[in-house]
Structure formats: C-alpha cells, structure tokens
C-alpha cells in the first residue's frame, strides 16, 4: 500500500472516530452531570432524558436519546412539543 493511500485511510479512520465520538455532545452532557441538571432513566424499553426537570427526549437508544436531548434543550423544546416525538407516559 502506498504511503499516500495509507495516510488517506488513516485520515478517514480518524474522521470516522471523531464523528462517532462527537466530543461536543459528551462535553455538554458532562457539564450537565457536574451541575446535576440532567437525568435519564430506562423504562418500558426506552431511555427518557430530562434537562432542568423538563423531559426533552425519549428513544430506544441511549446515544440517540442524549443527542436528541441536547438538540431539544438547546432549542428550548420538550420531547412532547416536537412533532412526531414519542413520549412514554406512565
């Protein structure tokens, strides 16, 4: 394998790794954890996430629930207020 091809492959792998990790989301979550502003629980097969005592996301996947929570919290919307959002009520 040529050096340039190997370097290109390494760059693509590094980019994929950075995208998969998405450090900004985890920094956001970490700050909220430190400030005790975020909560999550697993109920009825779904992850429910609340920020500042407001339900902002529900999803089968924890990763997607956190990503949606960040998006909704920054927009100032709740999970119930989003069109097509599923909210599990007990």
In which domain, by residue range, is 49 found?
Answer: 3-75
18-73 residue pLDDT tens: 676 688 898 999 999 999 999 999 999 999 999 999 999 999 999 999 999 999 99
Residue 17 lies in a domain: yes
Residue 74's pLDDT is 94
Residue 46 lies in a domain: yes
User: What is the mean predicted confidence (pLDDT) over 2-20?
Assistant: 83
Residue 56 CB-density burial (10 A; 0-12 exposed, 13-18 middle, 19+ buried): buried
Residue 88 lies in a domain: no
Residue 62 lies in a domain: yes
Q: What is the C-alpha to C-alpha distance for residues 70 and 73, in angstroms, rounded to an integer? A: 5
Residue 81's pLDDT is 62
- pTM equals 0.67
Residue 80 lies in a domain: no
Residue 59's pLDDT is 98
Residue 26 lies in a domain: yes
Q: Give the total number of structural domains in the chain.
A: 1
3-state SS track over the chain: CCHHHHHHHHHHHHHHHHHHHCHHHHHHHHHHHHCCCEEEEEECCEEEEEECCEEEEEECCHHHHHHHHHHHHHHCCCCCCCCCCCCCCC
Report the half-sphere exposure of 76 (CA within 13 A, side-chain side).
0
């Amino acid at each position: 394998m040529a050096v340039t091809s190997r370097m290109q492959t390494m760059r693509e792998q590094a980019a994929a790794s950075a995208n998969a990790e998405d450090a900004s989301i985890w920094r956001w979550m970490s700050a909220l954890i430190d400030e005790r502003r975020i909560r999550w629980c697993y109920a009825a097969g779904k992850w429910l996430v609340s920020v500042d005592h407001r339900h902002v996301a529900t999803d089968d996947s924890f990763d997607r629930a956190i990503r949606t929570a960040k998006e909704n919290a920054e927009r100032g919307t709740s999970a119930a207020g989003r069109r097509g959002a599923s909210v599990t009520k007990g």
